[in-house]
Structure 1
Amino acid sequence: MQRSDLSGVWSLTAFDDVGPGGERLEGPLGPDPRGLLIYCDDGHMSVSLMRTADSTRRPTTPTRLDFMGYAGTWRLDGDRVIHRVTITHTPHLKDHDQIRELRVDNELMSLYGTVSFQGRDVRRVLEWHRAGERR
């Protein structure tokens, strides 16, 4: 994989939690999240994710969010992409790496990661299409 395979703007098509049996469960931004992920050739990146307007009527909780995002730098490491967070609304992410397993198939990119909250690890998958390829 080369940097040029990722450089550009990606549009979010799915953000799901992955259950213990591999089943997909609704993620923290609800059933129809929106987002943009930007990878610049010079190694900078930015990601913004949000719950869609029609699903924002319930209150935000630690497992149910309305917006998340950060910016920083990115690099490839084999079949992983590593985001170094320098700007974020979530203080515990600042100056830390977000490591994602990476799969790219033409215009589709899947990022897999594990987050910890409330004493347990949760596996997540985010699926992206190159901007303009919303499905």
Structure 2
Amino acid sequence: MPYLGYSGRWRVAGDRLVHRVAVGSHARVVGTEQIREARLEGDRLTLRESLGAGRYLVLEWRRAEPAAAAMAGEERTMQRNGFETTGGGR
């Protein structure tokens, strides 16, 4: 599948996310509305577009951990692997 990227304003309409495309990697999408089924469950956002015949394009994102939690997880991993952590440089 070729790459397609776009940005612009968006709105929620029921269970759909509607993007009004201002900038896109392909001129044909600029000025259009891209409509996707949207589902937010916990830390995951899933957008889905029907291609017909029971086929879908699916995009899924997971919320990133706050930096402090990610760093704490990294320190635990380093300690399990036998490295000492001093917290220096933070």
Cα 1:69–1:131, aligned 2, differ >3 Å: closer, same or farther? farther
Larger strand proportion of the pair:
1
Please identify runs of 4+ aligned residues in structure 1 that moved more than 3 A: none
Pair 1:107-2:40 in alignment: no
Aligned residue in 1 for 2:86: none
Root mean square deviation, CA, Å: 2.5
Deviation digits for residues 30-88 of structure 1 (CA, Å, limit 9, x no counterpart): xxxxxxxxxxxxxxxxxxxxxxxxxxxxxxxxx3x3x4311100000011110010101
Gaps of at least 5 residues in structure 2 are: 67-90
Q: How does 1:19-98 map to 2 (within 5 A)?
A: 63=1, 65=2, 67-98=3-34
Give aligned-pair identity as a percent.
35
1:128 to 50, 57, 61: 61
When normalised by structure 2's length, the TM-score is: 0.62
Larger helix proportion of the pair:
2
Which one scores higher on RCO, CA 8 angstroms, separation ≥ 6? Answer: 1
When normalised by structure 1's length, the TM-score is: 0.43
Gaps of at least 5 residues in structure 1 are: 1-62
Greater Rg, structure 1 or structure 2? 2
Aligned to 1:92, the other structure's residue is in SS state helix
Distance 2:41 2:54 in 1: 27
**Counterpart of 2:7 in structure 1: which amino acid?**
A
